[in-house]
Structure 1
């Protein structure tokens, strides 16, 4: 980023960047899919998914009028968001439901920015959201995870050229779209292996009377739909360049 004054930085953040070539869109998608399909690298990258997951809980809790008390992120890539308010009702249902679909929703919002060539804006909005979330983190690993992610995004947005920012932004967006699907399968596998009344699906069962397995299927349908829509939008935006 070349701006030195506040006004110049704002202008650069919200300016449009050049549309990438079609092969970059395709290549970043393939790399994101490969990462989500791995073992060890996925475990590390899954921390970003957990940040989005807990952020989804937190945002909907605030929007539904609940009092948010804190977020904890753990090294096993689990997390918990604690809020106070009515223990049932639509606000609580939406709060619990939001977690597993949040990464895919983040991915779709990323697609909207990319379609308008607002690559730097996407990166900086991500930084702002991470900074806001940091205020709610209540454990050391959570702080480390959020600060590390924010530092990476900031470094790319501030110190790298436009082409590198484009590669990173497209990879990040693809990753969130693809990575939104795998945790749903992991959730169902965990429910079969070690049933727990504390999973989001089983909490929704308690709140609504609808089977937890049905809620897992709903999570999967939403996230697969978001992935399909994202693929269609991103590829159609790049296809005319072929």
Structure 2
């Protein structure tokens, strides 16, 4: 069989290293500081929040597809909100699961990214994120949505092509922190500004379970994700 250099180049950027890269503790704390600043400063948060909203909407879409609903498309709006449209039964478990998935999605993804990065699986994780964003591009329904998705895809593509295991791990951990903090900020916004059209409001209408209990379920997931990411910074 003839050698296929291009295939070797692709495989070399996907397979994890034999041992997880060692991450300098000082650099890790700098990553934490940068991620927290990005979420705390209004100017940067307005940009970062679009990424958190992107994960929120794709969380709706992913779970919707998993429970048998049809994913028609999603949009991100200039006010940093978004919407994912799935088609299926108006009530029932599938609709409830799809509606519930949005707010926990950034926290769950953040915890997963940190877990894989810490175990040396950053390279295949970056590859998977690229593939998911390529698939998501098929369902974008606005120019803003396309722009945010493309920028995210380009960033991961650069990280994938110029592969440095330690840098990939640090970037994924930084993204994980942003997603978890962003999940808490999104939850805080929906708790302090309740609305019948919000996810917990819709869940309350679908199930007769009060919205505050749905918010509590979101908080539990965010708490577990926070604990998972915090393991990197505990003795």
Alignment TM-score, normalising by the size of structure 2: 0.90
Unmatched runs of 5 consecutive residues or more in structure 2: none
From 28, 53, 58, the counterpart of 1:55 = 58
Q: Mapping of 1:92-241 within 5 angstroms? A: 92-159=95-162, 161-191=164-194, 196-232=195-231, 234-235=232-233, 239=235
Deviates more, 1:63-72 or 1:171-180: 171-180
Equivalent residues of 2:13, 2:163 under 8 A apart? no
The answer to whether structure 1 residue 80 and structure 2 residue 117 are counterparts is: no
Equivalent residues of 1:19, 1:117 under 8 A apart? no
- Counting matched residue pairs gives 230
The answer to whether structure 1 residue 91 and structure 2 residue 94 are counterparts is: yes
RMSD: 1.9
Task: Give the structure 2 partner of residue 44 of structure 1.
Answer: 47
Per-residue deviation at 1:179? 1.8
Per-residue deviation at 1:73? 1.3
Runs (4 or more) in structure 1 with deviation over 6 Å come to none
Per-residue deviation at 1:26? 2.4
Q: CA offsets, 1:30-63, max 9 Å, x none?
A: 2212221221211110111011101110011111
Local SS of the residue matching 1:180: helix
Per-residue deviation at 1:161? 4.0
Mapped to 1, the partners of 2:221 and 2:165 lie a distance apart of 33
Equivalent residues of 1:119, 1:165 under 8 A apart? yes
Equivalent residues of 1:114, 1:170 under 8 A apart? yes
Per-residue deviation at 1:23? 2.0
Per-residue deviation at 1:224? 1.8
Q: CA offsets, 1:4-23, max 9 Å, x none?
A: 52223213321225221122
From 61, 68, 92, the counterpart of 2:71 = 68
Mapped to 2, the partners of 1:60 and 1:166 lie a distance apart of 26
Per-residue deviation at 1:92? 0.6
Mapped to 1, the partners of 2:16 and 2:85 lie a distance apart of 38
Mapped to 1, the partners of 2:204 and 2:80 lie a distance apart of 23
Local SS of the residue matching 1:99: coil
Q: CA offsets, 1:131-182, max 9 Å, x none?
A: 1111111111111110011112212332364443333222112222222211
